[in-house]
Amino acid sequence: MLKAVVLIGGPQKGTRFRPLSFEVPKPLFPVAGVPMIQHHIEACAQVPGMQEILLIGFYQPDEPLTRFLEAAQQEFNLPIRYLQEFAPLGTGGGLYHFRDQILAGGPEAFFVLNADVCSDFPLSAMLAAHRRQPHPFLLLGTTANRSQSLNYGCIVENPETHEVLHYVEKPSTFVSDIINCGIYLFSPEALKPLRDVFQRNQQDQQLDGSSGSWPGAGTIRLEQDVFTALSGQGQIYVHLTDGIWSQIKSAGSALYASRLYLNRYQLTHPERLAQLTPGGPCIRGNVFIHPTAKVASSAVLGPNVSIGEGVTIGEGVRLRESIVLHGATLQTELGDGSGQKWP
Ligand code: GTP
């Protein structure tokens, strides 16, 4: 039996996504036509033995999130629950705080996924690697060029065993071209080092008299407090992938991720890609059109265009490399050339 946790952060996170995230919480921002974290949930739901998916964050459980959870549970026929942190607990604090819920039912292992990554999520391959040789922490890694690597968590591995020997989060000089994808498989034993960090933080706070102040003892940074601290001790391993991967931090990176996912739909969800139809708009490359959108027949869409719910695209509109958010209306100044505005 397996579980998965998606770390969705909260309103104070994802600042580079503003102002887009003021209207839609970042984890629900549409990427290739579906909410960002739906890609994670689809991947988790496909792993045989997946029992439950937990979203951990510090958003208020508002209407869009609740509606998304209800729809996702129905679609994937799986319990999908939101667990709200009482304060931002970092990338590891929520896992420790909600450990009883994660371990309820005795999962063999649980995936932990950052919400703001785009990937083909090679979860079955990670699980197979874990089953061949179980370790507390298995990190998904990919390669980046030297200058890009400085923006990520960098991993030095033993190339024979794939043990993580060193882990440095966003180093100032080059450390390794293997970077952390923010996609993990943890065994239940992984919670012991988290408990150790929690207890150490608590003792430190009592000693320096700062208990009760923020960040509290409950705040744990998986990357620095666990991966850096425990590398080279036989507990952390890396599984390398050459599949698609990118981070979604800004509007520009959401567009790039949308392009990767739309391209992948050719294999995974061809039904989501718009087709050329007689009397329909001109489609160039990969395009998603929400079934409720109205698109004029003289519009030219693509490549890499995703049209959201209830959108109206007028005559003569040309769009490429775009995500059009729900309810928007796009028209050319000249409309359809008849001088009348397109309805
Ligand atoms: P930045 O470049 O500063 O954004 O760092 P990063 O790329 O390492 O990302 P960060 O560690 O901030 O977040 C990684 C993932 O964890 C994202 O999906 C966040 O939404 C999520 N996350 C970050 N902080 C928290 C937290 O306090 N609680 C929860 N539940 N999730 C968090």
Distance 9 CA to ligand 1 centre (A): 6
pLDDT tens sequence for the chain (343 residues):
999 999 999 987 767 877 777 778 899 999 999 999 999 999 999 999 999 999 999 999 988 999 999 999 999 999 999 999 999 999 999 999 999 999 999 999 999 999 999 999 999 999 999 999 999 999 999 999 999 999 999 999 999 999 999 999 999 999 999 999 999 999 999 999 999 999 998 888 777 776 666 667 689 999 999 999 999 999 999 999 999 999 999 889 999 999 999 999 999 999 999 999 999 999 999 999 999 999 999 999 999 999 999 999 999 999 999 999 999 999 997 655 554 544 4
What whole-number distance in Å separates Cα of residue 65 and Cα of residue 81?
Answer: 10
Q: How far is the CA of 321 from the centre of ligand 1 (A)?
A: 27
Enter the pTM of the model: 0.94
56 lines ligand 1 (CB under 6 A): yes
Q: Report the alpha-carbon distance of residue 305 to residue 255 in Å, rounded.
A: 9
Quote the ligand 1 centre to 13 CA distance (angstroms): 7
Output b/e per residue, 55-83; b: 16+ Cβ within 10 A. Answer: bbbbbeeeeebeebbeebeeebebebebb
Pocket test for ligand 1, best of 85, 113, 114 (most atoms within 8 A of CB): 114
Angle at 325 between CA 277 and CA 337, to 5 degrees: 55
What is residue 217's DSSP assignment?
T
Question: Which residue has the CA at smallest separation from atom 15 of ligand 1?
Answer: 114
Domains and CATH numbers, the chain: 2-252 (3.90.550.10), 273-342 (no CATH)
Write down the H helix ranges in 179-237: 191-208, 229-230
Amino acid identity, position 11: P
Q: Is the CB of 225 under 6 A from ligand 1?
A: no
Task: Report how far residue 334's alpha carbon sits from residue 18's, in angstroms, rounded to the nearest whole number.
Answer: 32
